[in-house]
Amino acid sequence: MTSAKARGGTAVGAVLLCLTAVPAQAAPQDPTAHEAAGSSAAALPEPDLIGLRDVLRTALKQGAPGAMARIDEGGTVRLVTTGVANRTTGRALDDIDRFRIGSVTKTFTATVLLQLVDEKRLDLDASVNRYLPGLLPDSGITVRHVLSHRSGLYDYTNDMFARTAPGFEAVRTKVFTPRRLVERALRKPRTNAPGAVHAYSNTNFVVAGMLVEKLTGNPVGTEYQKRIIEPLRLRDTFYPHPATTIPGRHARGYLTPDTAGDALVDATRQTVSWAQSAGAVVSSTRDLNTFLGALLGGRLTSAARLAQMQRWVPAGSTQSYGLGLRRRTLSCGVSVYGHTGAVQGYYTYAFTSKGGTRSLTALANTSNNGSVLNTMPGALESAFCGKQTKPRRGTAAPVERHEDIAPGVALD
């Protein structure tokens, strides 16, 4: 099934490609935005929409019910969609469908904390225990360590989802307190000394959410709403936790079981309480592109805080990690900034160029599928590198495990 609605564009093969001009997104302006932009999309080649289509079609062949991508640049929107949002009804996936964004939530959480630094309510280099007394066993773990995944705190999801489908069903409707999740992590030895190396852990951003709530006196969802969602007019972005449903029109998400050949599990209905401020936000391709464009364009934090967010540490062969933000270096040498997201039923890639001038969000409505996970980075290549005559480096290489919800558990 494919979308039959062109929205002012052209249907190409089995995939909808459409090009639509839209008004610029209103957002609060920052006087440093032009400095933050630097040299950006002016040097980027035209996106390769045919290549992008091929990436999404490949994801379908590998087991994703549907896949879509949206590129926003200077008021121009490019869309590619294929497959279905609902396997039962056969409804085609559409750009207006909302979905669970998984760990892209971490960038929202980090942005709120960086705003609190701007307000002089938080010191990045202070101990977490200064703000949350007695929470962690080591007062040497700072806020910066947490936001850059250098705390050494064990990722509790490694055990929680050691068996994919049973692990999910055990927590699908549960509601955890953040402290309970941190306590699960603290039962295990730490992975390294504070500040030593990057070691991705959802525990870090549960702690980050606790910091937001402690410093503001509000639920983390309220702070997302007040500081990001309302100023940017994000109409599809919500923090529904602990509700189990996605508000409004949405894509259903399908979890791939560990045993080959077993039926996909419809994982749409869940609290995502196991993730909370590490992965429970719902959004859309439009809203994520707006958010990342505003963030890297310098419109959500001061220039100084955005620079702190981009103090990179190594996080793989082609990636670095800042504070709740990834930098990926593509085969053409272009660096893009954003985050990946994996939550049961959904894989999300949301990245923008330097200065936030060209943004891509790509979604496949499946998870626990290593082949699809390894294919989706090709959407970044097509969006930011354009057509290439040589094979793209790294597209067939084993994907690094920190792209997924349980970094220590093998996908296949």
**Burial label, 32 (beta-carbon count in 10 A; 0-12, 13-18, 19+):** middle
Cis-peptide into 257, omega within 30 deg: no
Alpha carbons 184 and 361: distance in angstroms, whole number: 32
Closest CA to 15 of 47, 46, 50, 48: 50
Alpha carbons 328 and 337: distance in angstroms, whole number: 7
Alpha carbons 162 and 315: distance in angstroms, whole number: 23
Chain center to CA of 139:
29
Q: Is 103 a catalytic residue?
A: yes
Closest CA to 326 of 379, 403, 230, 388: 403
CB atoms within 10 A of CB 387: 12
**Burial label, 397 (beta-carbon count in 10 A; 0-12, 13-18, 19+):** exposed
What is the dihedral sign for C-alpha 383, 385, 388, 393? negative
363 phi, psi to nearest 5 deg: -135, 140
* β-sheet bridge partners, residue 349: 340, 362
Report the helix count and the strand count for the chain, using DSSP H and E. Answer: 15, 15
Q: HSE-up of 390 (CA within 13 Å, CB side)? A: 5
Alpha carbons 320 and 290: distance in angstroms, whole number: 23
> N- to C-terminal Cα distance for the chain?
27
What is the dihedral sign for C-alpha 275, 323, 220, 239? negative
- The DSSP output letter for 226 is I
Single out the catalytic residue among 3, 40, 103, 331. 103
The DSSP element (H or E) to which 116 belongs, if any, is: helix 105-118
User: Could you give the residue numbers annotated as active site?
Assistant: 103
